Amino acid sequence: MNPLAFRFQLPHPRNHMKGTTMTPTTTASTTAPAPASAGVSAADATANLATDLSADNDYAAAGFGQRLGFGRRPALIVIDFVDAYLVESSPLYAGVEDELASAARVLHSARAASIPVLYTVVEQDTGPTGGGVFARKAAGLATLATGSPLGAIAAPLTPQQGEPILSKKYASSFFGTSLATDLTVLGCDSVILVGLSTSGCVRATAVDACQHGFIPLVVRDAVGDRRSEPHEAALFDLDAKYADVVSEQDVVTYLAGLAASSA
C-alpha cells in the first residue's frame, strides 16, 4: 500500500471559497474514476486520476510519506483561528466555518485529555518595522493590526485560563516566539495542529515543528484555506515530507485514549 495517505487533486475551485476535505486513497485501487463533476469532462476526470496515481507512485518510490505516528506527550496548537477569516465583510474572509467546528471538537477532546493547549495570533505592528516583508507581500494582513477586533480568536475556540496566546508577525508559530521553549518545558514530543491557513501559517508551523524535533500532526478537517488548490497541495506536500496529515476522528480517538489512561 502506498504510504502516502492523500493524493493531490487537480484544481477545482471552491464554491464560495468553502473548504474541501481530502479523503484517504491508495494506489492499489483499480476502480474507475468518479463521474465527472460539472464543467469537467469524463476524459479530464480520467486524466486527473492517472495524474493522481502517477504522483502517488512517484513519491512513494522515492521513500516519501512514511508514518511518524502519534507521540506520547502532545500539545494542541490553535493557529490563527481569528474572526478575520470568519466575518464575511473582512477582506480575509475564507469560508472556513466547517473547519472551525472541527477545530472546536478537537479542542474539546484535547482539554478532556488534559494536554497543553497553546494559541497563536498574527499581530501586525503599525510602527516603523510593521510586519516586515511578509506584510508587504500580503497586504491584507493589515486587517490584523494590533488591537483590531478582527484579530480576536473565534468564540468557539476562546482560550481558557492557563492556555497561552503567542503573538507573532510572520507565518510560523515558532519564528520569533517562545513556542519551541514552551513545548520543551512542557515535555512535549509532538504537536497537533489546527488552524489557518493550510498553505501559509499551518504549513510553516508544521515544517518548523519537524525542524525543532516535534512530530507534527495536521488535522485535515480542522485546517482551511481560501482556495482548494493551495489547501490540497499543502496537505499533500506536508504528508509526504514533514508531517502526518490525520483525520479529526483519528485525533479524537487518540486523545480519548490519553484521557482514559490518565484517569
> Tens of pLDDT along 36-73?
445 556 666 666 655 666 777 888 888 898 999 999 99
Mean pLDDT calculated for residue range 203-216? 98
Residue with cell 518510490: 61
CA distance 101 to 89: 20
Mean pLDDT calculated for residue range 234-243? 97
Q: What is residue 171's predicted lDDT score, i.e. its pLDDT?
A: 95
Domains of the chain are 74-262 (3.40.50.850)
Residue 177: C-alpha distances to residues 21, 183, 186, 188 (Å) = 30, 12, 15, 17
Q: What is residue 138's predicted lDDT score, i.e. its pLDDT?
A: 83
Q: What is residue 256's predicted lDDT score, i.e. its pLDDT?
A: 97
Does the structure show a pLDDT above 80 at 21? no
C-alpha angle with apex 218: 113 to 237, nearest 5 degrees?
A: 165
Q: What is residue 26's predicted lDDT score, i.e. its pLDDT?
A: 37
Does the structure show a pLDDT above 90 at 98? yes
Does the structure show a pLDDT above 90 at 224? yes
Q: What is residue 157's predicted lDDT score, i.e. its pLDDT?
A: 98
Does the structure show a pLDDT above 60 at 22? no
Give yes or no: 210 in active site.
no
Q: What is residue 140's predicted lDDT score, i.e. its pLDDT?
A: 78
Does the structure show a pLDDT above 90 at 227? yes
Does the structure show a pLDDT above 70 at 151? yes
Flag whether the pTM goes above 0.75: yes
Q: What is residue 14's predicted lDDT score, i.e. its pLDDT?
A: 40
Helix and strand counts by DSSP (H, E) for the chain: 7, 6
Q: What is residue 139's predicted lDDT score, i.e. its pLDDT?
A: 77
Which member of 76, 201, 204, 245 is catalytic? 201
Nearest in space to 81 (alpha carbons), one of 236, 250, 198:
198
- Average pLDDT of every residue of the chain: 85
35-49 burial, b if ≥16 CB within 10 A, otherwise e? Answer: eeeeeeeeeebeebb
pLDDT range class, residue 27, cuts 50, 70, 90: very low
Q: What is residue 85's predicted lDDT score, i.e. its pLDDT?
A: 95
Q: Is 187 exposed, middle or buried (0-12, 13-18, 19+ CB in 10 A)?
A: exposed
How many Å separate Cα 122 from the centre of its chain?
16
pLDDT range class, residue 33, cuts 50, 70, 90: very low
CA distance 196 to 77: 11
